[in-house]
Structure 1
Amino acid sequence: MSDQLLTPGFTHLDDEGHASMVDVTEKAVTQREAVAEAYVQMQPETLQLIVSGGHKKGDVLAVARIAGIQAAKRTSDLIPLCHPLMLTKVGVELTPEPERDRIRIEAICKLAGQTGVEMEALTAASVAALTLYDMCKAVDKTMVISGTKVLEKKGGKSGHWVLESDSSAPVEERKTQPAVTSVLPQEIFEPEVRKGSPTIQVKFFAQLREQVGMDEYQVPMNQLEKYTVAGVKQWLLAQHPNWDTFLTQKSLLTAVNQNMVKGDAGINEGDELAFFPPVTGG
């Protein structure tokens, strides 16, 4: 038998080269955590269909998120020799990246146990990507799943490990969404808008709606310095400095009249500007 099969690094092989589950009985219980990611590349029209909620199968991102969470919990049923684990957290975040015509999937798994959770994180990211593909394959047969990998893991003898060669954002920029900060009712106000004055209707969705404490906001155009998405955001922050944490997130998505746009996009009288965070859960 080849000596390569008996290399100590292959922990799932016994002394005779037979596949076996690693015995973790004597390992100490520590806090374990792993983060994995995957990407689904697609046509721009497909991404727009998903983000706008116009897909006939329903909320594609929400279904993919739940599929990823469920898959993490069933990893030992799918991957031979994986230990059944009592996960304490599974989070799956799907972030549309319109500038790259793709959706980024990030999965995080945690537990207090005797073995790592990187396989659970990888399984969550993979199945979420596969679910996205399955729901959209009828409208886009060119989709590509790629970049599935572990970004970070904590716990056990190996301590804290980070994929240094990763081409995506640094680990410190890949943290979860900021904690929700309550906005007191007296802090919420909307400026008086004269009847007939040109305005822009701003809408807040999902978690962002809870963070700012309102659904909609009428912005008077005559008070804007720039007639762009960034100009509206600047005006909102001037009125509500405590919104800075929410409206300056790099992952914040924007749409004008239900079309995904960037910060330099122009805005006109009567337009609907929507702000919403990426789909998250766990």
Structure 2
Amino acid sequence: MNQPTSATDTSNLHPEGFTHIDAKGEASMVDVTEKAVTAREAVAEAYVEMQPETLRMIISGEHKKGDVLAVARIAGIQAAKKTSDLIPLCHPLMLTKVKVELIPEPSQNRIRIETLCKLAGQTGVEMEALTAASVAALTLYDMCKAVDKTMVVSGIKVLEKKGGKSGHWQLPSDSHQDAESSTHSDAPSTQKKDGYLSLRFFAGLRESLNCEHMELALIALDTSLGEDTSLGEVKAHLISIHPEWESALSASNVLMSVNQQMAKATTTVQAGDEVAFFPPVTGG
């Protein structure tokens, strides 16, 4: 993994210097004529931080302008395809895949945007992935600015690059770092309770279940303290003790996360984990 270690670290600089400056010091588009055609892809991320009520409104679909996440997703895809029109020295590229995901992170009062761009070509797609993330974030901001003027767009960066002469390159997501910091924090608000899962329910689910937060003892799932339990087992246990919850929790499109990371029914959990359930969000 290549990761900058200080402000003076040069390990990630191009070995031949700035690639878009010619011998005369003038800006120019890089000549890729002789480069080999290889499979290339890039992943980027961005965040939009907001007030809790704004995030709740987006997740529940109550925003008056409609499906905020769907619009932001389409904007990001369109932006990736228009990158060369926006960034003067970028090559027009024939992208073969553009993916834009918008993932609510309720514990952080924000939406995480992750983009993926792929092609078979002679130059990389980092700028396309970054442009998709940036425009998706700006679109989300634009649609919600009337109800929340405190929103902040942050953390725009490339997470991963594959293909070309420089090969495979990665940086950790800010979400992974935030989750790790939360895990090791001694603050009472994030302190873990031994032997328990912290369960949270958001938006429409919170109203349907009439429950926002509960602690669930792992021993109730017939597991040993250090033994892994799947999210599917957690959900089944909740339904067994609250049969009236079955309709809401059994919906195939209910989303789940573990420690602010999107998860599946097969994902395992351990004592101290925070598990969140929330209704589906389109556009992600």
TM-score (norm 1): 0.63
Q: Deviation digits for residues 99-150 of structure 1, max 9, x if unmatched?
A: 1100000000000000000000000000000000000000000000000000
- 1:276 matched to 2:280: yes
2:175 aligns with one of 168, 176, 180: 168
- How many residues are treated as equivalent by the alignment? 202
Contact 1:228 1:263 in 2 (8 A): no
Judged with a 3 Å threshold, the aligned counterparts in structure 2 of structure 1 residues 72 and 225 are, in CA distance, closer, same or farther, namely same
Describe how 1:177-196 pairs up with structure 2 within 5 A. none
Is there any run of 5+ residues in structure 2 with no aligned partner, and where?
1-14, 178-207, 210-234, 265-273
Judged with a 3 Å threshold, the aligned counterparts in structure 2 of structure 1 residues 279 and 130 are, in CA distance, closer, same or farther, namely same
- 1:62 matched to 2:70: yes
The CA deviation at 1:224 is 1.5
Identical residues among aligned pairs (%): 68
The CA deviation at 1:29 is 0.3
2:110 aligns with one of 102, 108, 118: 102
1:111 aligns with one of 119, 122, 134: 119
Q: Deviation digits for residues 159-193 of structure 1, max 9, x if unmatched?
A: 111115x43339xxxxxxxxxxxxxxxxxxxxxxx
Is there any run of 5+ residues in structure 1 with no aligned partner, and where?
1-6, 171-200, 203-218, 237-242, 254-261, 265-272
- 1:140 matched to 2:125: no
| Aligned residue in 2 for 1:159 | 167
- 1:30 matched to 2:38: yes
Describe how 1:1-282 pairs up with structure 2 within 5 A. 8-164=16-172, 166-169=173-176, 224-225=240-241, 250-251=261-262, 263=275, 275-276=279-280, 279-280=283-284
Q: What amino acid does structure 2 have at the position aligned with 1:276?
A: P
Contact 1:72 1:121 in 2 (8 A): yes
> Which whole-Å CA distance do the structure 2 matches of 1:119 and 1:126 have between them?
10
> Which whole-Å CA distance do the structure 2 matches of 1:31 and 1:252 have between them?
29
> Which whole-Å CA distance do the structure 2 matches of 1:148 and 1:49 have between them?
24
Q: What amino acid does structure 2 have at the position aligned with 1:169?
A: H
TM-score (norm 2): 0.63
Q: What amino acid does structure 2 have at the position aligned with 1:121?
A: A
> Which whole-Å CA distance do the structure 2 matches of 1:33 and 1:21 have between them?
20
Larger-gyration structure (1/2) = 1
Q: What amino acid does structure 2 have at the position aligned with 1:80?
A: P
Contact 1:125 1:148 in 2 (8 A): yes
> Which whole-Å CA distance do the structure 1 matches of 2:170 and 2:42 have between them?
10
The CA deviation at 1:9 is 1.4
Judged with a 3 Å threshold, the aligned counterparts in structure 2 of structure 1 residues 156 and 222 are, in CA distance, closer, same or farther, namely closer
> Which whole-Å CA distance do the structure 2 matches of 1:252 and 1:124 have between them?
24
